[in-house]
A and B are shown apart, each in its own frame.
Chain A
């Protein structure tokens, strides 16, 4: 499955891009996608416990299975208000 990973705020700076494409094995989950990325992006693993994920306009968790064409947003801890 090929997904578009969209990066926000601190994570965008770590990744060095607004969005990247990732191809993963069929059945891959949100957590698999994130963990895969942490092996290539220095500093991302440290944010793992506090990163939240969005697909479309809904939060999803690490166990959510990804589908071809999904757009997965990586959300670092919030700072609104």
Chain B
């Protein structure tokens, strides 16, 4: 499963999607909306948007690269777009592998690659009414 969704989703969907009896390890990563920005401004929520077609191509490519580099079985990546409230999941990744090391490594690789190469943009919305686009380093 590689998807962009405009409604809240639940990690159980991703966990089910990567289920594999040849695997003994399942690692998940969840990125969710924090109540403060990196510089401490109180946040009311986030707005995400994407170039949908290219983002889906790139999400699949991240998954393909993860499978090529690490001894994993299956990987799923879902990113939310639209308006997110505090605590809502922005990105979920699930990876299964025969052994845990590859699953942890692939999960970290996938979130790093997603941040660098998938065309998704984030705007923080602040309690004081301001907004700011936030870019990955």
Contact = CB atoms under 8 A, between A and B. Distances in A.
Contacts, number: 70
Interface string A58-81: 110000000000000101111111
Question: Which 8 pairs across A and B sit closest by C-beta, in order of nearness?
Answer: A80-B120, A79-B122, A9-B121, A77-B135, A81-B115, A57-B53, A10-B133, A79-B121
Interface in B107-121: 111, 114-121
A54 interface: yes
Interface of A: 8-10, 52, 54, 56-59, 73, 75-81
Interface residues of B, number: 27
B121 A54 contact: no
A78 B91 contact: no
A57 B121 contact: no
Nearest to A56: B53
Contacts of A77: 135-136
A78 B111 contact: no
Interface string B79-105: 100000000001100000000000000
A78 B53 contact: no
Nearest to B57: A57
A80 B110 CA distance: 12
A78 B135 contact: yes
B54 A78 contact: no
Nearest to B137: A77
Contacts of B133: 9-10, 76, 79
Nearest to B118: A80
Nearest to B110: A81
B135 to A, nearest CB: 4
